[in-house]
Amino acid sequence: MKKVFFVLSLLFIVFQLCLVPVVSAKLYTWIDKRGVTRRTYYPPPSDQVRKGNQAQKASSSQKRSKNQVELYVTSWCPYCKQAKDFFRSKGVKIKVYDIEKDKKAAARKKKLDGSGKGVPFAVVNGKYISGFAPTQYSNALK
């Protein structure tokens, strides 16, 4: 009985380890030809993506310019890279400050953050966000 329990426990652990790549998969968001927003784990098929007209492109670029994002990072931080990639994937222009190379930026971050610890630290449209927090980033961009 103990052997069966041990084998089942071992199989359960192996199964859980197999799920890790699924959880870390990239999520694609795109609009199909009917105007429906789709979220998939694969890139959108080129024949299914809605082609925007010039007026839509102008309005989306106007929306992008309204957002102001400052991002305080270090060169070695993987979450900082994810934060930069997040804002770039949304088409948001960001000002990136490496706090290890720029002492003035480090002092400014410490003043804004309070604790002064941890990167990335973002100022999104006047809202302070510590750490890599895509949901909070999206809420602040609205």
Pairing type for strands 69-73 and 121-124 reads antiparallel
Mean pLDDT value across residues 112-134: 86
pTM: 0.54
Domain ranges of the chain: 24-63, 67-142
- Six-digit token string for 21: 């790549």
2-6, 30-34, 129-133: the lowest-pLDDT one: 30-34
Angle among Cα 70, 75, 81 to the nearest 5 degrees reads: 60
- The architecture CATH gives domain 67-142: 3-Layer(aba) Sandwich (3.40)
CA distance readout (Å), 119 to 5, 79, 82: 43, 8, 11
CA dist., res. 98 & res. 104, Å (int): 10
